[in-house]
Amino acid sequence: MIKNNFLKLAGVIALGMSVSQVTLAQTTLKVGSWLPPTHAQNATVWPTWANWVEKATQGRVKIKMEYGLGHPKTMFDLVEDGAVDASFGYHGYVPGRFKLTQAIEIPLLGVNAEAASVAHWKVFNKYFAKANEHEGLEVLTLFTHGPGQIHLAKPISSLSDLKSRKIRLGGGIQGELGKRMGVTAVGAPATKVYEMMQQGVIDGIFIPMGEQKTLRLKEVAKNVVVLPGGMYLGSFSMFISPDFMSKISEEDRAAIRSVSGEKLAAMAGAAWDAADNAGLQAAKDAGVNITMVNSDGKMAGEFRELIQGMDDTWYDLVSKRGVDAKAALSEIREIARSYK
């Protein structure tokens, strides 16, 4: 009897130790975001990646989302400082730091976000990573949003009509476009645009079609000009704290990296493409006046004229970064346009 009780007790202790060890082995990865939970990045991209990570690490790493963490430009600092373990950021919000990433934003690439995102990641690894613009962070992937379009309170018949209008610009190539169009640039996070449009603080915004739905622009920006291929793409990165990575096993580090990179870039781009399709449909359903510009239309011609020389502008911007900028831009276009 004593022997049997001892064996039972030993079994309970062993089981308790086993459960304790499993509990200790599980790590929570805190992901910070500034966009609403319903946005594609939070509703699709992060949850999909979280499932990939949990499966790849056999449940040892689990993701916890944290929302409303402030201005999107602070996400880089929040991860560097350890407030959260991972996040994503729009490079245009920190223009002095991120210059090379503008290559993917240059107009007339003529592809969707999925194709652009894969090209962005591949060229970043080959050419841009060594410049260390993401110093203090480990880059999980890079991706883009879909083609940026013109969303306005009042309609236009020509791009010249935009002169002096107050347009919210998000940074990056948008700044150069705004300068060439002669708009009055207004800086603000995308999440503030609805309120600014509603109050008449701004006349419009350059942003992808998806935000007609996710940011409810269909209610305040009742006129949209859709240029063929869009005006630009927006560059983002998803990143993780090196300190967090150093705290987990090499096996789990490798697992996280295996479900990031190109695979994550393609998925993120595809999710933002799907959001654009949903945004376009939502705008149509809401009765938004959508002007679909033909490639041989007046505004398309105006736009092609307006962007002349932007390659050279970017070459000058990154001339001190120590990379072959011309080769990188050429390769981005080749990869993106041949992507299937």
- The per-residue pLDDT for range 153-171, each reduced to its tens digit, is 999 999 999 999 999 998 8
Percentage above 70 pLDDT, the chain: 93
* Domain extent for 257: 28-325
What pLDDT does 24 receive? 43
Tell whether the model's pLDDT for residue 20 goes beyond 80.
no
CA distance 45 to 42: 6
Q: What is the pTM of this model?
A: 0.90
Q: Is residue 157 part of a domain?
A: yes
What pLDDT does 25 receive? 62
Of the pLDDT bands very low, low, confident and very high (cuts 50, 70, 90), residue 8 is very low
Instruction: Decide: 197 and 205 in contact? Cβ < 8 Å.
Output: yes
User: What is the number of alpha carbons within 13 Å of residue 264 lying toward its C-beta?
Assistant: 27
Q: Is residue 2 part of a domain?
A: no
What pLDDT does 22 receive? 41
Domain total for the chain?
A: 1
Higher local confidence (pLDDT), 8 or 269: 269
- Residue 19: left if φ>0, alpha if ψ -120 to 50, beta else—which one? alpha
What pLDDT does 3 receive? 43
Q: Is residue 298 part of a domain?
A: yes
CA distance 187 to 168: 6
Percentage above 90 pLDDT, the chain: 87
Interior CA angle at 88 toward 134 and 57, to 5°?
Answer: 95
Q: Is residue 253 part of a domain?
A: yes
What pLDDT does 68 receive? 86
Mean of per-residue pLDDT scores for the chain: 92
Q: pLDDT for 96-138, tens place per residue?
A: 999 999 999 999 999 999 999 999 999 999 999 999 999 999 9
What pLDDT does 172 receive? 85
Q: pLDDT for 197-241, tens place per residue?
A: 999 999 999 999 999 999 999 999 999 999 999 999 999 999 999
Q: Is residue 242 part of a domain?
A: yes
Q: Is residue 289 part of a domain?
A: yes
Coil vs helix vs strand at 198: helix
Q: pLDDT for 250-285, tens place per residue?
A: 999 999 999 999 999 999 999 999 999 999 999 999
Sheet arrangement for strand 148-152: 184-187, 166-169, 204-208, 148-152, 223-226, 289-292
CATH number at residue 49: 3.40.190.170
Of the pLDDT bands very low, low, confident and very high (cuts 50, 70, 90), residue 26 is confident
Q: Is residue 286 part of a domain?
A: yes
Tell whether the model's pLDDT for residue 9 goes beyond 70.
no
What pLDDT does 71 receive? 87
CA distance 297 to 323: 37
Residues 6+ apart with CB under 8 A from 27: 60, 61, 62, 247, 248, 252
What pLDDT does 95 receive? 86
